[in-house]
Amino acid sequence: MSDPTAGGLENLLSEDRRFAPSPEFAAQANATADLYSWANADRPAFWAEQARELLSWSTPFEQVLDWSDAPVARWFADGTLNAAYNAVDRHVEAGDGDRVALHFEGEGGDTRTLTYADLQREVAKAANALGKLGVGTGDRVAIYLPLIPEAVVTMLACARIGAPHSVVFGGFSAEALYSRIVDAEAKLVVTADGGYRRGAASALKPAVDEALAKGETTVEHVLVVKRTGQDTDWTDGRDVWWADVVDTASDEHEPVAVEAEHPLFILYTSGTTGKPKGIFHTTGGYLTQAAYTHLNVFDLKPETDVYWCTADIGWVTGHTYVVYGPLVNGATQVIYEGTPDTPHRGRWWEIVQKYGVTILYTAPTAIRTCMKWGEEIPAGFDLSSLRVLGSVGEPINPEAWMWYRRVIGGDRTPIVDTWWQTETGAIMISPLPGVTEAKPGSAQVPLPGIAADVVDDEAHPVPDGGGGYLVIREPWPSMLRGIWGDLERYKDTYWSRFDGLYFAGDGAKKDADGDIWLLGRVDDVMNVSGHRLSTTEIESALVSHPWVAEAAVVGASDETTGQAVVAFVILRGDAGGGDQSADEVQTTLRNHVAKEIGPIAKPRQILVVAELPKTRSGKIMRRLLRDVAEHREVGDATTLADSSVMDLIAQGLAAPG
Ligand code: 6R9
């Protein structure tokens, strides 16, 4: 049994709804239960088998795992391969050149279809163009593009010549772009004149110009895709149009076979300090786990499925589950440039209907937003093609999970709640569809081949029912190989908290069955009068009230209790919450949390807001809400998807009533 004094975790752990796989789904599933015993019997041998089975090697490997230089792993190190060949060419050679690789849907409704044969030609041309612009094997390329086919093509062209890419999200500022260009010493920047967002052309190239004007850089050229046709400043000699160098290049190109441990990409992610960390991944191990997880967790059938992951390529989900995983597996997928509510709130469901999407992978924040908009919107579209739904990025509240399954999945589809990180490279903890009996709100079990655990302060595994920190005990193929240029920071950040264990930075709990529940970042765990309370826990309790569409909870410092719970809620327009006075909302919801979790978890304050501050990847920036709750000036908000949100919140709180 769980510790009754821990306060606040019982609500999630008493979640007793269960969804066993249907016999029909189980009968056709890629994954089977014996994967677990196979992997447990000999973990490295299991991964070696996946690597041989799922990838094409130019030089087959003999060595499997070299952990002698821990915590830097080497997987399949004496093998060579090319990532773009694996993602594209080999499908064409196998006779699948006519299969659609990308159904591109622009925000404005323009579309493009690229088959694997088309993609091969485009990638070969771009690789030749990169060569002409002086980029060689080992040089770094910064990519600052909207989600258009050229983004995928550029990443693969880099991979084809062995030039590690560093994708910088198109919503990041010139300052952020500059620091990433400098840190990676990029030789080339690939960008576009602009992209479409919320129904308007939004410029990108000016941010590149501004970034490169900030100081001396190693950048020699800027390659510019024409997307919007808007006016663009031009630096002769440095800037080149995509149409002039890529479209005119030869479509014959020999992929460069690189060593398995050759860096494939760098991706910057924020750490606890101001300086972003350049997480870097290498080729053989990363691709192995990307392909393996994509195949088994989503039950991909490349010949018949239409897969759609709504992530942008600017974050890791876009790398592993838009580019490498699906393409290495030969999938047909949808990519969409725009926002879910442009030009109307049914846009995503219209896309599902139009392409007959069968597998959908998105984030809890998007699901909660759709809940807020109301279920009559998806109900207006035919979603019967869907057969697997995935979630990533944050813990998914049980109510959002239930809504996702019922409204989007027609009460029929398995849901896979997938836990992983930029650092882990690929999915680590997730149910397997067709195998695992699902529990709403829990990522449940480490995948076959992954040794995850929950430990206490002294690194002892917690018993079932206990809570602590999520760790990984054994190296895995797609693990980060370090922080670019800063080995010490890598060791410090991930390997110094617990001796010999990878520290993920997430709080977690094991339930009575030993299943894992993620509780948010450790820094999101609050301590109220000595009781450990999870933000996720209280958010889930709030969202389980019919008035609430979305909630964010922070721990604000409090003279008496150490920290106090402060909640920000968005009310559901369609459920009566909007008609209540602020006092009524506050009292009702505080009592609701007390009832769901216990009086200790009652928010000190509940503030009704119209929007919550989120990053581009959909994570709520609780740090900013903490500033509001503690009456401080709001800190750095540059990574927000919509920077006006904090102003809106401040105005809303200042307004009377
Ligand atoms: C893939 C991605 C990593 C952090 C991670 C955790 C949170 C991601 C989750 C989840 C609970 C899930 N996270 N998936 N928490 N359940 N299914 O999101 O990478 O942007 O590096 O974020 O996201 O806190 O530590 P990244």
How confident is the model over 469-512, as pLDDT tens digits?
A: 999 999 999 999 999 999 999 999 999 999 999 999 999 999 99
Q: Which residues pair with 491 in a beta bridge?
A: none
CB–CB of 434/22 below 8 Å? no
Which ligand 1 atom sits nearest the alpha carbon of residue 504? Answer: 25
393: Cβ below 6 Å to ligand 1?
yes
Residues at the annotated binding site for Mg(2+)? 543, 545, 548
Which pTM was predicted? 0.87
**Which residues are annotated binding-site positions?**
197-200, 317, 393-395, 417-422, 506, 521, 529, 532, 543, 545, 548
Return the residue whose CA atom lies nearest to atom 4 of ligand 1. Answer: 421
The label of the residue with tokens 């009524």 reads: 584
Q: How far is the CA of 419 from the centre of ligand 1 (A)?
A: 6
- pLDDT one-digit tens code per residue, 587-646: 999 999 988 877 778 999 999 988 898 877 778 888 889 888 888 777 767 667 677 777
Cα angle 405-411-417, degrees, rounded to a multiple of 5: 30
Per-residue pLDDT tens over the stretch 190-223: 999 999 988 999 999 999 999 999 999 999 999 9
Burial of 521 (0-12, 13-18, 19+ CB in 10 A): middle
Band of the pLDDT at 395, cuts 50, 70, 90? Answer: confident
339 lines ligand 1 (CB under 6 A): no
Of 242, 174, 181, 256, the C-alpha closest to 209 is 174
Cα(612)–Cα(49) distance, rounded to whole angstroms?
45
pLDDT at 6 over 50: no
Residue 159: exposure state from Cβ atoms within 10 A (0-12, 13-18, ≥19) = buried
Number of Cβ within 10 Å of residue 460's Cβ equals 10
- pLDDT, averaged across the chain: 91
Q: Work out the pLDDT band at 379, boundaries 50, 70, 90.
A: very high
CA-based radius of gyration for the chain: 24
Query: What's the sign of the alpha-carbon dihedral 305, 309, 312, 318?
Result: negative
Contact 518 CB / ligand 1 (< 6 Å) = yes
* ipTM of model over 0.95: yes
Judge if the beta carbon of residue 401 lies within 6 A of ligand 1. Answer: no
184 Cβ contact list (under 8 Å, min separation 6): 140, 142, 164, 166, 266, 278, 484
- Is ligand 1 within 6 A of the CB of residue 392? yes
Which helix (H) or strand (E) segment is 265 a member of?
Answer: strand 263-269
Which of 289, 394, 397 is the pocket-test mutation for ligand 1 (most atoms within 8 Å of CB)? 394
In the reported structure, the alpha carbon of residue 619 is separated from the centroid of ligand 1 by a whole-number distance in angstroms of 9
**Ligand 1 pocket, 265 CB below 6 A?**
no
Q: b/e for 118-136, b at 16 or more Cβ within 10 A?
A: bbbbbbbbbbbbbbebebe
Q: Closest Cα to atom 17, ligand 1: which residue? A: 419
Q: What is the mean pLDDT of residues 511-525?
A: 85
Phi first, then psi, for residue 385 (nearest 5°) are -75, -20
C-alpha of residue 113 to centroid of ligand 1, in Å: 31
Residue 657 has pLDDT above 60, yes or no: no
Task: Say if ligand 1 is within 6 A of residue 561 CB.
Answer: no
The percentage of the chain sitting over the pLDDT mark of 90, rounded to a whole number, equals 75
Residue 201, beta-bridge partner list: 196
The backbone region for 393, taken as left when phi is positive above 0, alpha when psi lies in -120 to 50, beta otherwise, is left
Please give the biggest Cα pair distance in the chain: 71
- Is any ligand 1 atom within 6 A of the Cβ of residue 312? no
Which run of H or of E encompasses 647?
helix 645-654
Q: Please choose from 324, 396, 419 the residue to mutate so as to test ligand 1's pocket, defined by most ligand atoms within 8 A of CB.
A: 419
**Ligand 1 within 6 A of CB of 142:** no
Does ligand 1 come within 6 angstroms of the Cβ of 139?
no
CA-closest residue to ligand 1 atom 11: 395
Write down the H helix ranges in 133-222. 149-161, 174-184, 205-212
Determine the distance separating the centroid of ligand 1 and the alpha carbon of 314, expressed in angstroms: 15
Q: Which atom of ligand 1 is nearest to the CA of 617?
A: 20
Q: Which of 270, 420, 623 to mutate to test the pocket of ligand 1 (most atoms within 8 A of CB)?
A: 420
pLDDT score of 655: 47
Pick from 272, 299, 249, 287: which is nearest to 53 by CA? 287
Closest Cα to atom 5 of ligand 1: 421
**Cβ(442) – ligand 1 distance below 6 Å:** no
